[in-house]
Every structure is written in structure tokens, then in C-alpha cells.
Amino acid sequence: MTDANRPIHMDLSGVPDVVILRLPMYVRALSQLLDAGSEVVNSHRLGRLLRITPAQIRKDLSYFGKFGKQGQGYSVRFLRNELRRILGLDRNWSACLVGVGNLGQAIINYPGFAPEGFSVVAAFDSDPALVGKPVRDIPVRPMSDLDAVISEGEVAIGIVAVPASQAQSVIDQLVDAGVRGILNYAPVAPSVPDGIVIRNIDPALSLQSMTYYLLQDDSRPV
Amino acid sequence: MTDANRPIHMDLSGVPDVVILRLPMYVRALSQLLDAGSEVVNSHRLGRLLRITPAQIRKDLSYFGKFGKQGQGYSVRFLRNELRRILGLDRNWSACLVGVGNLGQAIINYPGFAPEGFSVVAAFDSDPALVGKPVRDIPVRPMSDLDAVISEGEVAIGIVAVPASQAQSVIDQLVDAGVRGILNYAPVAPSVPDGIVIRNIDPALSLQSMTYYLLQDDSRPV
DNA sequence: TCTTGTGAAGTGATTCACAGCT
DNA sequence: AGCTGTGAATCACTTCACAAGA
């Protein structure tokens, strides 16, 4: 009962998706703690920082191993490094951007990607007026270059910042070219083949669900 | 058993959050169908469009009433209007933006908010160099104006596009001024009082959880 | 016959509570 | 004494499956 029938926690496909979604939050909080000079932390404090219950944090971590010491807590540095390794953030990830309009340019200039090992190595646009003029050192290429650049450059991630009407077609092209993850900013629910990971960034949907709750407690005088 | 002990489905606070998060997706899909000339739809087709099971859709709708006709399906127009009403999208919502840097300007220029009744009526920045120069017709004001503009203008929503270090403080100011919903683009996990609705837009977190799955099936040759 | 609306069943995630280690 | 790691219990969400209406 102690060691014979161990749980299959190392079964990687068995970790719930919600757990994976929380790990980056842990990494971020741990980095902050480290910056603030904390070398150890317990699940209670980490939970307060992220507004997550301590039990949740301990359970999440238990899917991957034992990282803490009873009575003390976790080494901030060690836990952060382990989580970064688990998430694959200890390596570099090349991404390409499709769509260099307002939004696309903001994405290229967004400083939040680089720190965790993501770099946009190429950009594409169907508008000839945009092609050729680099944005922040990143060359803007025609769509016809997409396939070659992705397959030759080991680009694993495609970032989609095109109008809704073109999004599915662009995503199909990215997948065909060999991209394995899609970060989609277009307001659509795209379909991708099995094995392709997609994340949608959709502020309009966020606002539209928010208003439901704003309607509820109109108790206070506006 | 038929009518005496009816379920408390009209108990508005009893609708699961996940359901509310899906309603805007339904609205969007229904709008598309309408644009495409479809007047009726059934849960199966709507589900295929959104990659949601038909049972899920019917169950979600059942929290709010009966919108369909057995044997036929739903009137696209009617269902869309009902959902828009339920979500509060049949009225106008004023929002203000804090932070008029790269990201903030992209948000102001983002065409996705206006169609569902959201309008950014004011913008604020702590940088004097940005204050005074309107961005796309929206005046940029100093932070000191924030309180007055929000309370006088019936601004219910604050959009936060400032650096992480300032985000919590800005959110506090917005809440104090009377905003009831926050759309936060800063990479932090802010805390807000009860009754305040917050939505976080955090592409970096999305990418960081994506890579976990990209590591898993390295079956194909890269 | 087709499709909704919904109790009941099933599945999945969170929280509890405590044994065990430091 | 303090805190982790984790089965067990609880809670929440999804899917099933079918009665009933068009």
C-alpha cells in the first residue's frame, strides 16, 4: 500500500487542463517573490497572493511530484525552476505573427512575451503596402513566404491577428505549415486538428459576459 | 411534481459562471447565422459551429427559460435578442481606459467593442506628454480627473492597460471612483472587493500553458 | 418524426482533513 | 509545532436519455 500500487501521477496526459492553466500563475508569483527577496514560501502565502486556496496549490503540484518540505514550505527558486521546466519555459520558443495591422503591431511591441522565452521571429501580412517594412526589427513578409519560413525556422507557434473573416483560413495555413500552437486574437471559434493547441484572446467576449453581472446587483445608486 | 416545486431556475445568482461565459459565444454565432440568412437553428447545428455539445447548449439555455420549439429548433433572431437582453447587451455601456501607451492605443482603435454597445468615453494617463492629445476623438486626461469623470459620466467599466507595477493601484482608484467592472490587460492577479467583476486578458499566461502541451507529443519530427 | 427541455447519472474538479515528515 | 502530500468527501459541471410538444 505504500509503494507497490503507486498512483499514475507521472502519466502526463492525466493532468487536468485547469491545473496546467494555473501553473504559469504560480511561476509568475514565484518570480515576484524571488524579486522581493523571499527564498521560501508556503502554500498559504502563495495562495493569498493568487487568491487560490492552499489545498488547491498543493494538489496541483502533487500531479508533478513533491517539491516542498514538511514543516517549512517550498524553496521559491527551486519550485519556480521546476515549474518552468515542466511548462517548457526553460527553452526558447519561436513564434510568427500573421496580421500586422494595429493589433499585430501592438503584439510585436508587447514586452510581456520575451521574458519567458518567446520570440516573434517573423511577421506576415497580405497587404502589399505593409510587406517589406520591418516592424521593430522584424521583417514583414508576404503570405506566400509563410510555409517556407515556418518549416525552415522551426517556428512552433503562430499568432493570429487578422480580421475574423480571414482567421480560419490563416489558421489552416499555419497548421499546414507545421505550427503546433496557435494564439488567436480574432473573434472567432476556430477549429484545429487534434494535437494542435489553441488559445483564444477575446476581450469582447470577456466584456459581454461581464455585463451580465453588472445587471444583477443594481442595488447601489449609479 | 409538475408545477408545485418548480426549480429555482429564475434564481439569477444560481446560474453557473461557465454558463454565463458561453452565452456571448452563442450570441456571436447566432449573429453570424443571421447574417448568413438562417432564420432557424437547432442545438446540433449551433453546437457544431461552436464545438459545444447540443446537450450543453440546451442545458445552458434552460437556466433562463424556454426559447425553442420542439421539432423545429430555435428562431435565430429571437434567441439572439433574448440572449442579448439577458447579458445586458441591449443597452449602452460606457467604459474608460487607463493607460494610453502602445496597448492602450490599440484598445481604443480595436473595432470589436463598439458593435455590442460598448464605448470608450474617456482615457487617462499619468504621462503628461500624452495628456491633452486625443486618440481617435477620445480625450486623454490626467489621472486627477478620473474620479470626477467616472462618477459624473456613469462609467461602469474600467479598462486597465498600464504596466504591472501600477495595475493594482489603478484598479483601486477605478473601484473607488465607482466603476463596477474591470477589464484588466496587466499581467497581474489583482484583488477587487466583492461585487466588482474583473476579467483578465493575459496572453503571456496563455502562451505559457500552451508550451506544456507542445512538449508532450514531440512525436512528429520538427 | 424531429427536436426541445430536463431529471438523473456520470464525470471532473475542489476542498477537507489528517497521517507523516521535519 | 508547522506544513506538505494525498485519499476521501464534497461540490460543480456535463452528458445521457427520454417524456412531451410541434
Cα A87–B200–A222 angle (5° rounding)?
Answer: 165
Domain boundary residue among B86, B114, B131? B86
Q: Is the pLDDT of residue B1 over 70?
A: no
Name the nucleotide with the smallest C1'–CA separation from B62.
C5
**Contact status, residue B215 vs residue A84, Cβ threshold 8 Å:** no
- Looking at the fold, whether B57 and B112 belong to one and the same domain comes out as no
> Taking the CB of residue B193, how many other CB atoms lie within 10 A of it?
8
> What mean pLDDT value characterizes chain B?
92
CB-contacted nucleotides of strand C (7 Å):
1-7, 12-17, 20-22
**Residues A64-73, mean pLDDT to the nearest whole number:** 97
- Looking at the fold, whether B80 and B120 belong to one and the same domain comes out as no
Cα A55–B192–A198 angle (5° rounding)?
Answer: 65
Pairing of the two strands B40-41 and B68-69: unpaired
Q: What is the pLDDT of residues A153-202, one digit of tens each?
A: 899 999 999 999 999 999 999 999 999 999 999 999 999 999 999 999 99
Confidence tier at B150 by pLDDT (50, 70, 90): very high
- CATH code, domain with A45: 1.10.10.10
Confidence tier at B47 by pLDDT (50, 70, 90): very high
Q: What is the pLDDT of residues A122-136, one digit of tens each?
A: 999 999 999 999 999
Confidence tier at B114 by pLDDT (50, 70, 90): confident
- Looking at the fold, whether A77 and A106 belong to one and the same domain comes out as no
Which CA distances in Å does B35 have to A54, B22, B43, B77? 48, 20, 18, 10
**Smallest Cα distance from B25 to chain A, Å:** 7
Q: Is the pLDDT of residue A7 over 50?
A: no
- Looking at the fold, whether A83 and A102 belong to one and the same domain comes out as no
Burial class (CB in 10 A: 0-12, 13-18, 19+), B129: exposed
Sign of CA dihedral A74, A78, A81, A86: negative
B220 within some domain: no
Q: Is the pLDDT of residue B83 over 80?
A: yes
Which one, of B209, B48, B221, lies nearest residue A181 by Cα?
B209
d(CA B69, CA B173): 48
- Looking at the fold, whether A72 and A138 belong to one and the same domain comes out as no
Q: Which domain holds residue B18?
A: 12-86
Q: What is the pLDDT of residues A72-115, one digit of tens each?
A: 999 999 999 999 999 999 999 999 999 999 899 999 999 999 88
The pLDDT of residue B3 is 32
Full strand arrangement of the beta sheet holding B118-124: B140-141, B118-124, B93-98, B157-160, B181-184, B197-200
A217 within some domain: no
Name the nucleotide with the smallest C1'–CA separation from B19.
D13
Instruction: Please answer yes or no on whether B213 and A110 come within 8 Å at the CB atom.
Output: no
Q: Is the pLDDT of residue B25 over 90?
A: yes
